[in-house]
Chain A
Amino acid sequence: MIRRINLTINGDKVGIDVQPSMRLLDVLREILNLTGTKEGCSIGECGACTVVINGNAVNSCLIVIGQCEGSEITTIEGLEKNGELNKLQKSFMEKGAVQCGFCTPGMIMSAYALLLKNPNPTEVEIQEAIAGNLCRCTGYKQIIEAIKSP
């Protein structure tokens, strides 16, 4: 049964007519064409699909759209404002924290959620915040550096 789900995505109010049991990840990528959010493992282990809902980082492969009614969702596409990248995005580029880039959107969204609550995190707090994000390329060091000094 298709239902209308109202929510806010990257600051825009949208109403989507959709099967409520569709994964948020699929709604983002296939209906809203927000393909910055990636699908890696599909089971909550890699963090590539991380988005921020009501200020909290979540795996969009582990939540269905029917659970998101009325929520405020931010994806990687929502960080850029008026053509200018967010300071986290810039810092990832400056510190060489991006190699193949597949983990990057999820990694940045986890970091973004951390900084919303804790603008000056310690290294341990950063490690804890990105423990659910796998990166096969960088070795994490540059990523942690980038989050430390955005």
Chain B
Amino acid sequence: MKRDIELFSTWKLDEALELLEDGNSHVIAGGTDIIPGIHINSNRFRDFNKLVDISRIKELKRISEEKDKIIIGAATTFSEIESDEILQRHLPLLVKAVSKIGSRQIRNRATIGGNFINNAPCADSVPPLLVYNAGIKINSIHHERMINLEDFLISPYRTSLTNEEIVTEIVIHKPRESLNDVFYKLGRRRGVAISRITLAILFEIKNNKFTDFKIASGAVTPIGKRFYEIENYADGKKIDRDLLIDISIRCGKAVLESTGLRWSSEYKLPVLQRLIYSLLEDNCLRR
């Protein structure tokens, strides 16, 4: 790295929290964003000279199943998530999403916590975590707090994390196994691509009606975002072509409302609506 930076590596969470106590350090886990960021002198990483490496703290890499919830250590890598049987069974949407991130080399290092703490618009793990209603546990040397991921994410590249804190766990209530899921990612190419559109959808169908319809987007919105109004609108309605068209039109408009009008909106809106429609048609009608 070009700048002179001190790096402290530890195997113990308590020690990491102590090192962060003075508030002048930055946490590093996988480092796939921070290391090149410092190397190219990005202004996102100029305000610290001390890094605390948490990538090898065992308790931050645990995946466990409890009676009604799944807990994922925040420093678990995407490769570890991809190959984990508990997650494949209970959170297939998350597994699908992370397996499309970056490249094998990046997934071997990049962590799930790092992905949403960056809070880039294109953080691919965020839309699935949002539709799963993920909560996160945050620790500092003095306190512990739980917060919904949705409330944690404030604006692009900003979260409610303070310099003394580490996100330690992601907690998700076990979704019913009868839920269907759809993940869609569009990048400029297939490998190592920054997402242009990500969509995560969960739904259940009973008597040809939607129950528990959930949808979140990334990349097309400033940060990952759930569309509650549309979810409420869809729930309980009979599934036919008209309903799916209706949902797609509403989703497109909702995305536009959150990004604001741009010169490209005239093009993007119908493309997005058409895309959402095809996804819904493929997954909800032709079954």
Determine whether the beta carbon of A110 is less than 8 Å from that of B105: yes
Determine whether the beta carbon of A131 is less than 8 Å from that of B53: no
Contacts of B108 in A (CB 8 A): 56-58
A74 at the interface (CB under 8 A from B): no
Contacts of A113 in B (CB 8 A): 104
Contacts of A62 in B (CB 8 A): 30-32, 35-36, 105-106, 109
Stretch of A15-23, A85-93, A95-103 contacting B (4+ beta carbons < 8 Å): A15-23
* Bound form: Cα–Cα A69–B103 in Å: 24
Determine whether the beta carbon of A132 is less than 8 Å from that of B7: no
Determine whether the beta carbon of B36 is less than 8 Å from that of A67: no
Contact of B79 among A20, A21, A23, A56 (CB under 8 A): A56
Given contacts A47-B105, A66-B9, contact A42 B36 (CB under 8 A): yes
Determine whether the beta carbon of B5 is less than 8 Å from that of A21: yes
The 8 A CB mask of A28-46 against B (1 = contact, 0 = none) is 0000000000000011110
Contacts of A115 in B (CB 8 A): none
Contact of A67 among B31, B40, B102 (CB under 8 A): B31
Within 8 A of B (CB), among A49-64: 50, 56-59, 61-64
Q: Which residue of A lies closest to B79 (CB)?
A: A56
Given contacts A56-B108, A58-B105, A132-B106, contact A21 B31 (CB under 8 A): no
Within 8 A of A (CB), among B107-160: 108-109
Contacts of B51 in A (CB 8 A): 21
Q: Which residue of B lies closest to A41 (CB)?
A: B36
Given contacts A62-B31, A63-B31, A67-B31, contact A128 B104 (CB under 8 A): yes
Contacts of B40 in A (CB 8 A): 42-43
Contacts of B5 in A (CB 8 A): 21
Q: Which residue of B lies closest to A57 (CB)?
A: B105
Q: Which of A63, A114, A128, A129 lies at the interface centre, i.e. has the most chain B CB atoms within 10 A of its CB? A: A63
How many residues belonging to A are interface residues under a CB distance threshold of 8 Å?
31
Contacts of B6 in A (CB 8 A): 1, 20-21
B190 at the interface (CB under 8 A from A): yes
* Bound form: Cα–Cα A58–B192 in Å: 14
B56 at the interface (CB under 8 A from A): yes
Contacts of A59 in B (CB 8 A): 32, 105-106, 109
* Bound form: Cα–Cα A36–B86 in Å: 39
* Bound form: Cα–Cα A57–B1 in Å: 21
Determine whether the beta carbon of B79 is less than 8 Å from that of A64: no
Contacts of B175 in A (CB 8 A): none
Q: Which of B4, B5, B28, B108 lies at the interface centre, i.e. has the most chain A CB atoms within 10 A of its CB? A: B108
Contacts of A63 in B (CB 8 A): 31, 35, 109
Contacts of B103 in A (CB 8 A): 44, 47, 131-133
Contacts of B55 in A (CB 8 A): 67
- With A47-B105, A57-B108, A58-B109 known, 19 other A-B pairs at CB within 8 A are A20-B7, A21-B1, A21-B5, A23-B39, A42-B39, A43-B36, A59-B32, A62-B30, A62-B32, A62-B36, A62-B105, A62-B106, A63-B35, A66-B8, A67-B56, A131-B103, A131-B191, A132-B105, A132-B191
A-B contact pairs, 5 of them (CB 8 A): A19-B7, A58-B108, A64-B1, A66-B8, A110-B104
